[in-house]
Amino acid sequence: MTDTSLHRSLPDRLDNPLRSALLSWESLLVLVAVVIFIVNSFASPYFLNAWSLSDLTFNFTEKALIALAMALLIIAGEIDLSVAAIIALASTLMGLALQYGADTPVLVAIGVGTGIACGAVNGFLVTGLKLPSIVVTIGTMSLFRGISFIILGDQSFKGYPKSFSWFGQGYVWGVISFELVLFVLCAVIYFVLLHRTNFGRRVFAIGNNAVAAQFSGVRVDRIKFVLFCLTGLMSGVAAVLLTARLGSTRPSIAEGWELEAITMVVLGGVSIVGGAGSILGVVLAAIIMGLVTFGLGLLNVPGIVMSIFIGGLLIVVIALPILFRMWRQRT
Amino acid sequence: MKLLKILAATTAVAALLASPAFAQTRIALVVKSLGNGFFDAANKGAQEAAKELGDVEVIYTGPTAATAEAQIEVINALIAQQVDAIAISANDPDALVPALQKAMERGIKVISWDSGVAPEGRQLHLNPSETALIGETIIKLAADYLPEGGDVAILSAASTATNQNAWIDAAKAVLPAKFANINLVSVVYGDDDSVKSTDEAKGLIASYPNLKAIIAPTTVGVVAAAQVVTDQGLIGKINVTGLALPSEFKQFIDNGASQAVALWNPIDLGYSAVMLANDLVKGGEAKPGAKLSMGRMGELTLDDTNSGAMAAPFTFDKSNIEEFSKIY
């Protein structure tokens, strides 16, 4: 990241397409995913089973939906730490509406609407008041979850209708869950949005140099505001899915998920300082995290070992390309 | 093509690996979180049960963070492994229901123990103890060391605490019939606050000069009362007892402020959970009124909600406090 260099190619498309495709982060992630898949198949006799593979997807779909929008936000040089708290608030408000007899369409609208509203609050504080996003979202993280705790205390909402549960527990066809279908659909939408539209080019431009982008006529604040709303929207969608899957709401719902979503984004090759990254990488990273957690779960490996493994994987995958580059420069 | 070959090879290996696993009954003991002495002790009991049964393998597992979401991932992995039974101490009584229902749909027996799951998410629930047994135990703890009888007082938690009040009512109920010479002079409330509990204990000692025992069925109150008795030099005159965590309370057994206290025994709990799960796998049926085997712990009788109580609280005294204080 040398700001003085004149030639600044945007890193989602490098000079030599074939060579860069083979040496790209995504190829490395595909390799890692295939290796883990094969290791899992050998390590546990229960892995290669349609229902196992279907259950596996539930380990990452909801978090990965958030990671898709989070990737855009991080590429634009911002971050949202309040996503898990948005899930808690959206889920709590859905539960509250349920007490007043709301039906499935209303519940979904409230969940998604709460997500967008929370995202708009974050977006306004960051773009309107020019506050750093990390500070704003640490604040709203406590605020949103705090409201859930005030409403619920140590109680829980339950009794969601069957038609609502389908969003988190239903299958579209055979072992293909609704959550998986929605995730694939959203991944395609976000891929097109980031890599095939002017909006996406502007997101990269803002992440590389927000001031230059501003002077080039990009409406930086408006785009950032939209990105916060999108992240809120995806958190709202995740809230609907998770609440439907759990069939209940507690204020501690989805605790710690913000870090898991960010881990997916970083593992997916998105530069944490902004300006570079791809949706394909994030999708692969989400699949890898699902494969690792489920694979180790099948072997009944304690959770703490899983955390260590994920942490190690993160460092290795980030360090490998850097080491490779150093090695190439020496020879 | 290559991938297909690899897949074929792995499936063949998988089939080979899978066959020996069916010889045994596999029971998963799922806890709230790993790295907790209470649950490690439960696992000790579970392994003991497995050894006794012979053909049972216990899988001790649980998440690192004590959340429902993390526990669901564990349950999904166990469903995929086609275990025969899941015995779970739940992080959330409601959120685990869909995942556990899925397990039951796929033929896995599900029981909850210690911390329960809503009735629709399990076949039976094992409570460590029950109100009547606890009420009787706390009086017995005091009476055992008062052969001639005498005045005793109860130091409770909040006056609104449902479980505390139920235990105290049960204690009062057994007094006239079984412990006629024990005279309950007062019930005071320390709100599970160390300072308030200390003040209330001091008040009891000042108001009732003939007081022989203070019974505190709360882990906070019992420590506060024992500290007061120690500080005022009343060791030997007033016996403190109740429900206490061995690790917190060991010093007061050691210095004589208390003869004995009680609490659930996690080893017995883990043992009974595995025995019950095994019973269900081997054809036992969980329905109201049914009696299921808990091995050396006797039989579990199920009530209307398919839950049952294991035993009276387990007593800790000079002979075993050392051992249990290391566990929890």
Residues of A in Cβ contact (< 8 Å) with B69: 242, 246, 253-255, 257
Which ranges of chain A does DSSP label H, i.e. alpha helix?
Answer: 17-22, 25-43, 50-58, 61-75, 83-99, 104-123, 133-152, 162-169, 178-195, 198-208, 210-215, 220-246, 257-267, 279-298, 303-330
Instruction: Give the tens place of pLDDT for each residue, A157-168.
Output: 999 999 999 999
Q: Do domains B2-128+266-311 and B131-263 have the same CATH topology?
A: yes
Which residues, 6+ apart, have CB-to-CB distance to A277 below 8 Å? A11, A12, A71, A74, A75, A265, A268, A269, A270, A271
Chain A: closest CA distance from residue B292 (Å): 28
Q: Which of A248, A253, A297 sits opposite B74 (nearest CB)?
A: A297
Q: Which of B16, B40, B94, B100 to mutate to test the interface with A (most CBs of A within 10 A)?
A: B94
CATH number for position A276: 1.10.3470
Whether A289 is in a domain gets the answer yes
Cβ pair A163, A104 in contact under 8 A: yes
Q: Which of A252, A292, A299, A310 is the best residue to mutate to test the B interface, defined by the most B CB atoms within 10 Å of its own CB?
A: A252
- Cβ-proximal residues to B245 (8 Å cutoff; 6+ apart), any chain: B219, B263, B328
Q: What is the CATH number of domain B2-128+266-311?
A: 3.40.50.2300
User: pLDDT confidence of B241, banded at 50, 70, 90?
Assistant: very high
| Category of B316 on φ-ψ map: left (φ > 0), alpha (ψ -120 to 50) or beta | beta
Tell me the chain A residues in contact with residue B57 when contact means C-beta distances shorter than 8 Å: none
Cα–Cα dist A243/B68, whole Å:
12
For residues B68-72, give the mean pLDDT.
91
pLDDT at position B78, please?
A: 94
CA distance A196 to B144: 81
Q: Hey, are the CB atoms on A47 and B63 less than 8 Å from each other?
A: no
Lowest mean pLDDT among A44-48, B189-193, B259-263: B189-193
E-strand ranges in B143-263 read 150-156, 182-189, 211-216, 239-242, 260-263
Q: Model confidence over A197-216: pLDDT tens digits?
A: 999 999 999 999 999 999 99
What was the pLDDT predicted at A9?
Answer: 55
Spatial separation of the C-alpha atoms in residues B324 and B312, rounded to whole Å? 17
By the 8 A CB rule, do B107 and B100 touch? no
Residue B80, pLDDT score: 92
Which residues of B lie closer than 8 Å to A, measured between beta carbons? Answer: 6-7, 10-11, 13-15, 17-18, 21, 33-35, 59-65, 67-70, 72-74, 76-77, 79-82, 92, 94-95, 97-98, 102, 106
pLDDT band per the 50, 70, 90 thresholds, residue A15? low
| pLDDT value of residue A304 | 77
Share of chain B above pLDDT 70, in %: 93
Q: How many CB pairs under 8 A join A and B?
A: 120
Going by pLDDT thresholds of 50, 70 and 90, the confidence category of residue B293 is confident
Instruction: Give me the pLDDT at residue B21, please.
Output: 45
**For the residues A284-290, what does the mean pLDDT come to?**
94
Q: What is the pLDDT of residue B116?
A: 85
Contacts of B60 in chain A (CB under 8 A): 300
User: Which of A41, A59, A304 is the closest to B14 by Cβ?
Assistant: A41
Q: Provide mean pLDDT across the span B235-258.
A: 90
Which of B2, B7, B10, B30 best tests the A interface by mutation, with the highest count of A CBs <10 A?
A: B10
Among the partner residues B11, B72, B94, nearest to A158 by beta-carbon distance? B94
B229: pLDDT strictly greater than 90: yes
Domain ranges of chain B: 2-128+266-311, 131-263
Q: Write out pLDDT tens, residues A220-273.
A: 999 999 999 999 999 999 999 999 999 999 999 998 899 999 999 999 989 888
pLDDT of amino acid A189: 98
DSSP letter string over A88-155?
HHHHHHHHHHHHTT--HHHHHHHHHHHHHHHHHHHHIIIIIS---HHHHHHHHHHHHHHHHHHHHTT-
- A34 within domain boundaries: yes
In CATH, which of 3.30.450.40, 3.30.200.20, 3.40.50.2300, 3.40.50.2000 is domain B131-263? 3.40.50.2300
- Model pLDDT, residue A311: 84
Whether the predicted model's global pTM rises above the 0.95 cut: no
Nearest to A52 among B18, B80, B97 (CB): B80
Quote the percentage of chain A above a pLDDT of 90.
72
Least confident of A68-82, A253-267, B155-169: B155-169
Whether residue B22 is predicted with pLDDT greater than 50 in this model: the reply is no
Chain B nearest-CA residue for A246:
B95
Q: In a 10 Å sphere around its CB, with 0-12 CB exposed, 13-18 middle and 19+ buried, how is residue B195 labelled?
A: exposed
Cα of A57 vs its chain's centroid, Å: 14
Instruction: Report the residue of B81, B106, B115 to disrupt the A interface, i.e. the one with the largest count of A CBs within 10 Å.
Output: B81
CA distance B137 to B244: 13
CB A56 within 8 A of CB A211: no
Q: What are phi and psi of B96, to 5 degrees?
A: -85, -10
Task: Give the pLDDT confidence score for residue B310 in this predicted structure.
Answer: 86
Query: Measured between alpha carbons, how far is B258 from A114 in angstroms, rounded to an integer?
Result: 55
Q: What is the mean pLDDT of chain B?
A: 87
pLDDT tens readout for residues B173-217: 998 888 888 899 999 998 888 899 999 999 999 999 999 999 999
More confident of the two residues A50 and A16 = A50
Mean confidence (pLDDT) of chain A: 90
Cβ-nearest to B34 among A165, A250, A303: A303
Residues of chain A found within 8 Å of residue B80, distances taken between Cβ atoms: 46-47, 49, 51-52, 55-56, 294, 298
Section B7-16 average pLDDT: 48
Alpha carbon dihedral B127, B131, B137, B143, in 10-degree steps, equals: 180
Nearest CB among A41, A247, A306 relative to B95 is that of A247
A46 pLDDT exceeds 80?
yes
Chain B residues whose CB is inside 8 A of the A255 CB are 65, 67, 69
pLDDT at B178 (0 to 100): 87
Q: Is residue A13 part of a domain?
A: no
Most confident of A67-81, B18-32, B40-54, B106-120: A67-81
**Could you tell me which residue, B150 or B18, shows the higher pLDDT?**
B150
Q: Do B81 and A298 touch (CB under 8 A)?
A: yes
| B98/A246 touch (CB, cutoff 8 Å), yes or no | yes
Q: Do A304 and B34 touch (CB under 8 A)?
A: yes
Residue B307 has phi, psi (to 5 degrees) of -120, 160
| Residue A1 reports pLDDT greater than 50 | no
Q: How many angstroms separate the CA atoms of A223 and B125, rounded?
A: 53
Number of domains making up chain A: 1
| CB–CB contact A298 B80 (8 Å) | yes
According to the model, what pLDDT value does residue B24 have?
A: 86
Q: Are A265 and A66 in contact (CB under 8 A)?
A: no
CA atoms within 13 A on the CB side of A148: 28
Residue of B217, B76, B204, B203 lying closest to B134 (CA atoms): B217
* Chain B residues whose beta carbon lies within 8 Å of the beta carbon of residue A307: 64
Instruction: Look at strands B150-156 and B211-216 and give their pairing.
Output: parallel
Q: Which domain holds residue A191?
A: 18-330
Q: Report yes or no on A7 lying in a domain.
A: no
CA distance B278 to B315: 27
**Contact (CB<8Å) A246/B79:** no
Examine the pLDDT at B19 and tell me if it is beyond 50.
Answer: no
Tell me what pLDDT residue A191 has.
97
CA distance B92 to chain A (A): 9
Mean pLDDT (whole number) for B58-75: 90
Q: Tokens standing for A52? A: 């196992």
At A280, the amino acid letter reads: L
Mean pLDDT in residue range B270-277: 94
pLDDT surpassing 50 at residue B13: no
The C-alpha angle with vertex A277 and arms to A273 and A278, in degrees rounded to 5, equals 155
